[in-house]
């Protein structure tokens, strides 16, 4: 299993969707559900990290706000 920190956003999001689907269908044992939950948390953190970095890049591209007029 690949470390979530190494996954591109799209792969992490797709795997997170699959984790949620499996948890929602209720077909897992308690131990499997706990492992899936932990994996889902790690995938969520990866997605949030990538989105945060993308937001920072976009902020850097925006021109600064003009100073307020007197």
Quick count: other Cβ atoms within 10 Å of Cβ 29? 8
With respect to residue 67, please indicate whether it lies within any of the assigned structural domains: no
Cα-Cα end-to-end distance for the chain: 59
With respect to residue 46, please indicate whether it lies within any of the assigned structural domains: yes
Cβ distance 61 to 44 under 8 Å?
no
- DSSP letter at 26 equals T
- The counts of H helices and E strands in the chain are 2, 0
Check residue 64 and give its pLDDT: 83
pLDDT band of residue 65 (cuts 50, 70, 90) is confident
pLDDT band of residue 69 (cuts 50, 70, 90) is confident
Question: What is the pTM for the complete model shown?
Answer: 0.84
With respect to residue 8, please indicate whether it lies within any of the assigned structural domains: yes
Q: Total domain count for the chain?
A: 1
Residue 3 has pLDDT above 90, yes or no: yes
Tokens 């308690």 appear where?
A: 30
What is the domain extent for residue 56? 4-61
């Amino acid at each position: 299993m690949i470390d979530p920190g190494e996954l591109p956003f799209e792969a992490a999001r797709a795997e997170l969707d699959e984790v949620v689907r499996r948890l929602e269908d209720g077909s897992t044992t308690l131990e499997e559900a706990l492992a899936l939950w932990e994996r889902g948390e790690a995938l969520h953190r990866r997605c949030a990290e990538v989105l945060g970095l993308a937001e920072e890049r976009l902020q850097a591209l925006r021109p600064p706000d003009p100073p307020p007029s007197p």
